[in-house]
Amino acid sequence: MNNTQKYDFIAIGSGVAGSTAVIECARHGLKTAIVDNKPYGGTCPLRGSDPKKILLGAAELYDWFSRMKNTGIINGDIRIDWQNLIQYKCSYTNNIPMKVEQSLKKMSIDSLSGNAEFANENTLKIGDKFYTADNILVASGSVPTKLPFNGAEMMSSSDDFLSLKTLPDKIIFVGGGFISMEFAQAAARAGAKSIIVHSGERILQGFDKELVGLLNKAAQESGIDIIVNNRVSKIETDGDTLIAHLSNSEETIRADMIVHGAGRMANVYNMNLETGNVAFDSGGIKVNEYMQNTSNSSVYAAGDVTDSEGPYLATVAAMEGRIAAENIIHGNKRKPQYENIPSVVFTIPTLASVGMQEEDAAKAGIKYNSRFQETSDWFTSYRVGEKYSGYKIITDENNTKILGAHLLGPSSEDVINLFTFAINRGITPEEMKNMVYTYPTASSDIVYML
């Protein structure tokens, strides 16, 4: 290990967790470096939320035109040009690695390229060079879950889907979670026959079942087939065609592409974690309440790679990265807060949720009130021709505390942030109802939900 380069802090992974942490450390005067074996930027801006939203933006516009036909607004047909759409997406994503590295350089953060492996508890080997640091943050993210059936290697990843130059005629999406539901929306609007195969009783099981039921109707009306209580058990080929066998029937489905949307797992691979005395298991790197590894006190972890309570969200990864950095700088003082974190599925219409569901309140022994209503006849939905929308609000039995808010419909991804603020700050339903909102907006509908 001659000529080992010394740092105060090194982050493995340039996604939101790693970049947030290294920037925070650099601002406090630490000598810092960050390493990635892929282009700089991480999953969210390059292969996740940001490019996905560009594709879904086109799908939303297409859907709006379709809904508003015969209202005097448009006349004629529109279509999505997939090849041009992907080029537009690339015009955004292609510049990100350079911009990220430039911003790091301005802060005197060294950006390293290659696969980082632990050589000992405080040293990383990258290629044929060694780098040692007082503290190391592992923020290597997640990878698709390994599925145990023959032919699973023939599935395409979400990365592959987002890079498609030509859209296949027929696509199967395995799993009924975020990835499958969002990608199927874009593919269906662009003209591909989209089929979702999910092993559970219903899709999006972490969300309110009545709102998911409405979303299910909207998805099927848009041409998306949803198969539940079944799973892909084998994939074979017939020339260029893929054949998916289902476990609960003799039925097979032929498709041009099968996309893995059945969950992700911590990326704990190819880092020689054992050599670094970094405790981990299949659930991720083991951390304590301060995001510090349980066996190597010099190592912290943040984001999808950890075994923390946090969901796989970019916002959670950023929070954990910031907290890990602050604890490295100031000592272990800050702990992440995972309660009442909002989540959104960017389907058409959008589904958003924060706080407790009815099942959560009942399990906790809390007496509660639940208010559910479909809102397709409300102005917010009517003006854009949205047939499927609604809300469910959970409060305590005296209606003095908001326990949960669940929304389906236009702008729900923004309105949910107001409910998140109210729940976390203890704003009562009456106080929220008495606020003066801009009108007519989706936010002004809150008055009628409480």
| Distance set, CA 136 to CA 22, 273, 292, 331 (Å) | 10, 12, 10, 15
426 is in an annotated binding site: no
263 is in an annotated binding site: yes
253 is in an annotated binding site: no
| Distance set, CA 76 to CA 15, 70, 187 (Å) | 43, 10, 21
Q: Where are the alpha helices (DSSP H) in 387-445?
A: 412-425, 429-433
Distance CA 395, CA 404 (A): 7
304 is in an annotated binding site: yes
53 is in an annotated binding site: yes
* Sequence-ordered strand ranges (E) for 180-277: 193-197, 225-227, 232-238, 241-246, 252-255, 257-260, 264-266
* Sequence-ordered strand ranges (E) for 29-82: 32-36
Listed residue (390, 309, 392) closest to 358, CA to CA: 392
Return the ∠ at Cα 95 (arms to 91 and 100), rounded to 5°. 150
179 is in an annotated binding site: yes
Classify residue 146 by its DSSP letter. P
412 is in an annotated binding site: no
**Cβ 186 vs Cβ 56: under 8 Å:** yes
DSSP 233-256: EEEEEETTEEEEEETTSS-EEEES
Phi, psi of 402 (to 5 degrees): -85, 120
Classify residue 74 by its DSSP letter. B
**Cβ 368 vs Cβ 402: under 8 Å:** no
Distance CA 447, CA 439 (A): 11
200 is in an annotated binding site: no
177 is in an annotated binding site: yes
Distance CA 430, CA 423 (A): 13
Cβ count near 293 (within 10 Å): 25
Q: Which residues contact 102 (CB under 8 A, 6 or more apart)?
A: none
Sequence ranges of the binding site for FAD: 53, 304
Sequence ranges of the binding site for NAD(+): 175-182, 263
Sequence ranges of the binding site: 53, 175-182, 263, 304
